[in-house]
Chain A
Amino acid sequence: MEFVNLFYVLAGILFIMGLKKLSHPKTARTGNMIASVGMLIAIVVTLLAADAIDYTMIVAGMILGGLIGGYFAVKVEMTAMPQMVAIFNGFGGGASALVAAADFLKNYDQLIAGQNIMVSGFEISPVFYGAVVAFSIFVGTLTFTGSFIAFGKLQGFISGQPIVFPLQQAINAILALAMLGCIILMAMSAGNLQLIFLGIIIISAVLGITLTIPIGGADMPVVISLLNSYSGIAAAATGFVLLNQGLIISGALVGASGLILTNIMCKGMNRSLANVIFGAVGGEVEGAAAAAQQMTIKSYSTEEAAMIFDAADKIIIVPGYGLAVAQAQHAVRELAEYLEGKNKTVLYAIHPVAGRMPGHMNVLLAEANIPYELLKDLDEINPEFEDCDVALILGANDVVNPAARHDKSSPIYGMPILDVDKSRTVIVNKRTMNPGFAGIQNELFGFDNTIMVFGDAKDMLNQLLKDVKEL
């Protein structure tokens, strides 16, 4: 049995090497291959070393899961990637919870009797075992239901607006305390263990829902990163249940990765994690809405906008979630290629929280064959706006709202933004005058150097390209 762990360490090393190669787009694909080889080794070794397992059932489960996973991996639109990752996080968490639950049922009799439990050849005290098994089921189930809510919100099955109800925080606090109680009872093998087991499943399932529904669409990058981290923590916790080094190493890697991304996303919004989870941002903001009514905006046709592009030398495109909704990534590339052909510089400004998940915009633009060197992040691009002729904003809103700099009453105050207003001309494309997903009106639209071009991003870009060509 011992030698198996060596192979798990090997798999872990391959995962780390794979992740390391993700530090550059050139080597990233090889990295992913290396990691998948690590996974293959871990699976094969487990299948060979395990005794008395049900091979027929395992193969059936693998074929079913492989077909489902493979189908969605091939079919999913790049714009729908956030939903896809959300639901995969859910399956990962669900799998960990199921494994822990299955192991609990296997050791149920010893646990009731308060005996030590044999795990991978070690005798483990029922206190430790009870605590980790309870924790593992808790995190896994919470990840499962939370991810399905996130999926529903991103897919539009559930409103992307924060859903709040009275006493929400109080109910969450009570549920969390009840959860803690269940974990302690499980560790002490006190009371009816079957009831506690069911209680843990139900409470964590409900907590996953109540913690996720109040989070608005614009905060989704944080939630997905956090759920990603949870799925890793769940795997690591299950690793402690089974004393399996493969699960512990990989779970820790994924947990760390998710936490880093969560932190980057929170910084990108200048908000604490607690504020994102409990803040329910995205409701009505009366003051800002009132101010918006006095704002005069200039609405241009694509023909008029085309003339501005014709005279420009340096253009910076700012993509947002609206671009993904309109599937306009290819239309952007066509316009940009034409402008580049006219010896104009075209760059792309990518805000860390643009879109619905970390790196969402980069993947979309990569799909449209836009070279990744042209995609600049916040710190790189902000000095470039000073001598930029046209900043073209496509379906982005909060990430270019100057209120973040000065309006202390704004929910996005302090958020680092793209300094598009420093460009000579700002062209904003939106479908309607409706505020962005954070529900905040944007004073940028009323600025002297801002013009609005209304319409679906894809249609607008196609028309604009036609008009520019006709000049």
Chain B
Amino acid sequence: MIDVITIFILAIFIGFEVITKVPPTLHTPLMSGSNAISGIAIVGAIISTRVGGELGTWLGVAAVAFATINVVGGFMVTDRMLKMFKRK
């Protein structure tokens, strides 16, 4: 248990360190990109679609669909935006 809490705290710390360095110009792609990362719920969704347990499985499948929207849409739209940032 203490392991996962340690990981959680370390990840927050790294998150703060890395993300404070993102310039304002890229704040929208940062949001959509981190949005895609929060689609990691897809991992939990896959695990929760266990065969059996009717309602639980359906909720799991709905979660898979929701999270995939996030992952696919998030990464694709971020790429579309970042493609547009050009130098002089």
The interface of chain A, by Cβ under 8 A from chain B, is 8, 11-12, 15-16, 18-20, 22-26, 28-29, 31-33, 35-36, 39, 42-43, 46-47, 50, 52-54, 57-58, 60-62, 64-66, 68-70, 72-74, 76, 78, 81, 84-85, 88-89, 91-92, 94-96, 98-99, 101-103, 105-106, 122, 124, 128, 224-225, 228, 231-232, 234-236, 238-258, 260-261, 264, 350, 352, 357-360, 362-363, 366-367, 369, 371-375, 377
B45: chain A residues at CB < 8 Å are: 61, 95, 98-99
Q: Given the interface contacts A252-B8, A253-B14, A256-B12, does A246 sit within 8 Å of B86 by beta carbon?
A: no
With a cutoff of 8 Å between Cβ atoms, the chain B residues found around residue A105 in the complex are 53, 55-56, 59
Q: What is the CA–CA distance of A250 and B52 in the complex, to the nearest angstrom? A: 29
Smallest Cβ-Cβ distance to B62: which chain A residue: A98
A84 to B48, CA, bound (A): 27
For the complex formed, measure the closest distance between the CB of B28 and the CB atoms of chain A, giving whole angstroms. Answer: 4
Closest-by-CB residue of A relative to B71 is A39
Whether A32 pairs with B82 at a CB distance below 8 angstroms is yes
Residues of A within 8 A of B71 (CB): 39, 43, 65, 69
Q: Are A247 and B72 in contact (CB under 8 A)?
A: no
Using a CB-CB cutoff of 8 Å, which residues 15-42 of chain B contact chain A? 15-16, 18-42
Report which B residues bind A (CB closer than 8 A): 1, 4, 7-9, 11-12, 14-16, 18-53, 55-57, 59-88
CB distance from A354 to the nearest CB of B (A): 10
Asked if B83 and A91 make an inter-chain contact with CB atoms under 8 angstroms apart, the answer reads no
The contact sample of 29 A-B pairs, CB cut-off 8 A, is A19-B22, A31-B33, A32-B75, A39-B37, A53-B49, A57-B64, A60-B61, A61-B49, A61-B68, A81-B28, A81-B81, A88-B70, A88-B74, A95-B41, A98-B66, A99-B63, A122-B1, A244-B44, A246-B40, A248-B8, A250-B37, A252-B11, A256-B15, A261-B31, A359-B25, A362-B24, A362-B27, A373-B88, A377-B24
Chain A residues within an 8 Å CB radius of B76? 69-70, 73-74
